Structure formats: C-alpha cells, structure tokens
Amino acid sequence: MPREITAYSNPLIKRMRNLRDKRHRREEGLFLAEGLRILTEAREAGRIPDYLFYTAESARHPLVAPLVAATEAQGGEAIETNADILSKLSGKDNPGSVVGVYPEFALELSAIDRSTAPIWLVAERLRDPGNLGTILRTGDAVGAGGLILLDDCVDPFSVEAVRASMGALFTVPVARARWEEFEPWLRAGPGQLVGLSLDTSHDYQAPRYAAPTFLLTGNEAQGMPPHMEQACDLLVKIPMLGKADSLNAAVATAVMAYEVRNQFRHG
C-alpha cells in the first residue's frame, strides 16, 4: 500500500532532493524524472522507478494507477505527497504531477551491438543539458541505436537533461566513454565515422553514407579537436546561407541524422 509523506523534514525527502546534485546522484546511483508523460514512457520501455511520488489529485489520472502498480510490483515504493514536496524534489515552482526516482543506467561500449541500427549518435564534450535532451529525442525519432557520450559531457541523468529528453532517455540507449576507448572499439568492427565540421568543403548531402553510420558532433563552442577530425572517415558541412556560421549542435545533429536516415530509407 502507498504510504503518505507530507513533511519536508522526512529523511527520504531530503535524500531524494539531494539527487539534483551530481555528486549525490553518483553516490546513490539514482536520478530524478518528473512528469506523467516521461514516467509513462519509461514504464512502457521497461524502466520502473524505485520510488514514485504523486499527489492525491494526480492519483485520479488514469495513467497514475498503472505507474503505482508497476512500481509496487517491482518492489519499489509508491508515496502520496503534496505539490510543495514535488516542487522541492523537482526544483520547479510548477512541478509535474508525478516524480520518479530511477536507478542510473548506461551501457558499456562492449555491450553495444552495432548491427542493431544503421545510425548511431556520438557527442563529444557536450555541455548543455538542453542539447543533450534534444539529441536524445532526435535519436528516438530516427531510430538511432543509441547515443555515445565522449569525454566530459554533461550528465545525462541531471534533472535538466532528463526533462529536455521528454522521455527519450528511457528509449535511446546511452553509453559513456573516453575517446581513447571509443576509437579502438569503433575500428574493431564495421562503422563509418562521420564528423560535422566547419573545416571542410564536403556538403552533407553529397556523400553516400554506409551503415552503420556514427555521427560525431563536437563541443558546442569549440567543435571537435583536430585529432578527432583526423580520425573521421568523412567530414561534412551543412551549408549556411545567412550570416550565422553554424547551427546549434543539437539542430545540426538532427539535420544530419535525417539526411542519413533518408538515404537509407530510399536505398
């Protein structure tokens, strides 16, 4: 049976609130996700929270009961609380109607089966959680096999990144690795590494891409370093007809991903 917590001083509330901090997430191996849509998509993807917080009002929504049942069936705890505590957990003045606490999950490179998808997304030193979330949504939309985060990327399990992903964190596998691990892993099997770069004359629509294609997007401000550009099988550029010299990293990733997907779709 769900229990009720309405006191800010409750030790569990304090502990869960601390998950907004990266250090505490790493120590606990847990992260926060909020919103009925995101939690429902997580459940449909087989991800069930260890803790589910909801209000008496939100309990009347038809999608909340399946979340409560799934949480309790998996040995988790469903907790009825109030909107103020949900706000404390999420860090938002107007929080979602439900907040879930999930175990962190990330693939090792050795666990990736590159034959399962023709497109894989790779991001290097991505710093903005909104960009990370958008790239995850793009990955979901184009049927990418996963997103590989290289070197010091923003934490995909931060509240901001999870929110920006709109549930795609639960549907697109995420792996984290150093470049020194990724490059030999990639070269140990099939895969074309395609980098987005301003330092090339190759139009992104000109080449014929080969599956599996790994699309590499560099840091938002600096792009990718020279040694990564040199390691790419192909560098391509999205033409800019206005005064801006480049697109936002997440937008550029989406444009490229759809070009590759369309080529594969039309043979």
Segments of the chain assigned E as strands:
3-4, 30-34, 51-55, 77-81, 98-103, 119-124, 147-150, 174-177, 192-196, 213-217, 234-236
Residues 249 and 226 in one domain: yes
Q: What is the pLDDT of residues 19-37, one digit of tens each?
A: 999 999 999 999 999 999 9
- Asked if 124 contacts 179 with a C-beta cutoff of 8 angstroms, the reply is yes
Q: How many residues does the chain have?
A: 267
Measuring CA to CA, which residue among 117, 108, 101 is closest to residue 47? 101
Residues 132 and 165 in one domain: yes
Residues 118 and 91 in one domain: no
pLDDT at 5 over 70: yes
- What does the mean pLDDT of the chain come to? 93
Residues 28 and 125 in one domain: no
Q: What is the CATH number of the domain that holds 118?
A: 3.40.1280.10
Residues 254 and 134 in one domain: yes
Q: What is the CATH number of the domain that holds 14?
A: 3.30.1330.30
∠ CA 25-26-27, nearest 5°, is 95
Task: Kindly state the DSSP code that residue 65 receives in the 8-state scheme.
Answer: H
Q: How confident is the model at residue 263 (pLDDT cuts 50, 70, 90)?
A: very high
Residues 97 and 143 in one domain: no
Residues 74 and 114 in one domain: no
Using DSSP's 3-state secondary structure scheme, residue 40 falls into helix
Residues 215 and 252 in one domain: yes
- Asked if 182 contacts 146 with a C-beta cutoff of 8 angstroms, the reply is no
Residues 16 and 83 in one domain: yes
Q: Which of 80, 103, 126 is the last residue of a domain?
A: 103
- Asked if 81 contacts 6 with a C-beta cutoff of 8 angstroms, the reply is yes
| Structural domain boundaries enclosing 231 | 109-265
Residues 97 and 205 in one domain: no
Residues 117 and 97 in one domain: no
- Tokens 């997580």: give the residue: 42
Q: Which of 87, 103, 119 is the last residue of a domain?
A: 103
Q: What is the pLDDT of residues 147-201, one digit of tens each?
A: 999 999 999 999 999 999 999 999 999 999 999 999 999 999 999 999 998 888 8
pLDDT at 240: 77
Residues 141 and 252 in one domain: yes
Peptide bond just before 212 cis, omega within 30 deg: yes
The total number of structural domains in the chain stands at 2
Q: Which of 44, 75, 103 is the last residue of a domain?
A: 103
